[in-house]
Amino acid sequence: MKFDVIVSGAGPGGSKAAELLARSGLKTALVERNANWRKPCGGGLPRHVDDDFGVPEKVRENTYYARAFISADGTKLVLETEKEPGGCVVDRLVYDAYLRDTAVDCGATLFDKSTVKDVILKNGRVVGVKVRTPEGLKEMMADVVIAADGVASRIAVRSGLRAKWKPDELAKCVVAFIDGYEGPKYNHFYFFDFMGYAWIFPMSGKRANVGVGLLSSSKRSVLELFDWFLRSKYFKEMFRREKIVVKQGYPVPFSSVSGQHYGDGIMLVGDAGGFVSPVTGEGVYYALWTGKLAAETAILAYEREDFSGNTLKEYKRKLDERGIVEFLSGQLRLRDLIYSNQGRTLNLILKAANEDERFKDELRRVLFEGAKPSAEFAQKLMSFM
C-alpha cells in the first residue's frame, strides 16, 4: 500500500494533520490503534484552542470564565475573564472523534485497530511504517510519515529523532470523572509543595474531571497522591458524596521540547515530540498547531518534490516562527520558579497577584496566552525566590 503521507495516531495532532493533508488533495492514511480509546486527559482547552481551531458547541462539556490557583498554604487566586470565556472542557472520547471524523470527511483514509510498530528505512530515510492490523503485519509506504502517536510513540524513537523519555522528562498522572461536584463552574489548579499538581475541571451536570500529576522520577505514588487529594479539605469543599465514574493512569511529556522534530521523510508532532506545557500539562493546543505545521510542511515537500530533511526542516522554521519551542522552554523556567522553596514562592506569587491587578493580568497572559513576560514582571517574579 502506498500513500503520499501516513499519519500515525488519530489524536488531536494526527487528526488535524490528516485533515489538512487530505483537504490539499494528498492521499493520506490515518493509522489509529483504537478509535474507541478515551485519551486520559483533563480535557481543559483554554480559549486559544477555540480561537485558532474552533471547538463546536456540540463537543463542549462546559465553558468556563475563570480559573482558580491554589498554592500549598491554601492561598487562592481566581483569574477571571468576565466578558469572554477562559476556555472549555471536553470529554476526549467525544472531542477526538469529532477531529478524526473531520479528517475522514475531508478524505483521509482511517485504518482503525491498526498499531504502528516500526518505521521502514531505505538508505537512512523513512519510507513507510510496519503496522499490526487485524489481518496481520503489513507494510505501508509513503513519502512522508508524521508521528502523532502520543507520548509512547515508538517510531519517534525508532527513527532516531529522540531517545526514550527519562523518568524526569515525564509526569505520571491519574485522572477520573467524578460525579457529585457542587463547586463554582471554574477550573481549579491545586499546586503541591513539591513538583506536582491536582486539578478539578467541571464538566456538564455535577460531573468533574479530577486528576493529579507529578514527575515520574518522584518516589511518591501517584495513586496515593490522588487518594490523598480526594480526602483533602479543598476537594471536600467542592464535592458532596463523590462517585468515581472512570479512572485512568497515563504519562505526559513534562520536560518541554528539545531535540530535533524532523528527519528525512518524517516529522514528530504533539506528545510524540514533547510539545506540552511543563507548567500546566496543556498539550492539545500544541498538538493541533504542530499537526497543522507538519501538514503544511508535507504539502510544501510535495510542491518541491523533495521529502528529505532539506525541505522538512521548514517544519522547524515554522515552529520557530510561531515561537512554540521558545514559549514551552520559557514555561520550563517558570515551572522551576513556582515550585522553588517547597511551594513558598508560589504562595508569595499568588498573594502578590491578589493585591496587584496588573501583575495578576500579566500572570494570566503568561500562563495561558503565550504572552512574553515583560522585564518588570520577570523581575517581580524573581524577587519571590
Ligand X SMILES: Cc1cc2nc3c(=O)[nH]c(=O)nc-3n(C[C@H](O)[C@H](O)[C@H](O)COP(=O)(O)OP(=O)(O)OC[C@H]3O[C@@H](n4cnc5c(N)ncnc54)[C@H](O)[C@@H]3O)c2cc1C
The contact set with ligand X (CB under 6 A) reads 8-14, 31-34, 37, 39-45, 115-116, 148-150, 154, 173, 175, 211, 250, 252, 270-272, 276, 281-285, 287
User: CB 190: neighbour CB atoms within 10 A?
Assistant: 21
Nearer to ligand X, 139 or 376 (CB): 139
From residue 39, give the alpha-carbon distance in Å to each of 36, 67, 80, 149, 251: 9, 23, 28, 11, 11
> Cell triple for residue 232?
483533602
Measured from the CB of residue 239, what is the shortest distance to ligand X in angstroms?
19
From residue 45, give the alpha-carbon distance in Å to each of 16, 64, 206, 371: 16, 10, 19, 17
Nearer to ligand X, 276 or 312 (CB): 276
Residues 51, 44: Cα–Cα separation, whole Å: 14
Nearer to ligand X, 203 or 346 (CB): 203
Rg over CA atoms, the chain? 21
Nearer to ligand X, 100 or 380 (CB): 100
Measured from the CB of residue 114, what is the shortest distance to ligand X in angstroms?
6
Nearer to ligand X, 150 or 330 (CB): 150
Nearer to ligand X, 253 or 330 (CB): 253
Check if the beta carbon of residue 85 is closer than 8 Å to that of residue 92. no
Nearer to ligand X, 21 or 381 (CB): 21
Task: Provide the β-strand partners of residue 139.
Answer: 130
Measured from the CB of residue 36, what is the shortest distance to ligand X in angstroms?
9
Nearer to ligand X, 278 or 348 (CB): 278
Measured from the CB of residue 46, what is the shortest distance to ligand X in angstroms?
8
Longest Cα separation, the chain: 63
* AA letter at 240: R
Classified as helix, coil or strand, 201 is: strand
> Cell triple for residue 165?
523519555
Residues in Cβ contact with 320 at an 8 Å cutoff, skipping those fewer than 6 apart: 326
Classified as helix, coil or strand, 80 is: strand
Identify the DSSP state of 108.
P
Helices (H), 73-201: 92-105, 154-158
> Cell triple for residue 288?
493541533
> Cell triple for residue 259?
531535540
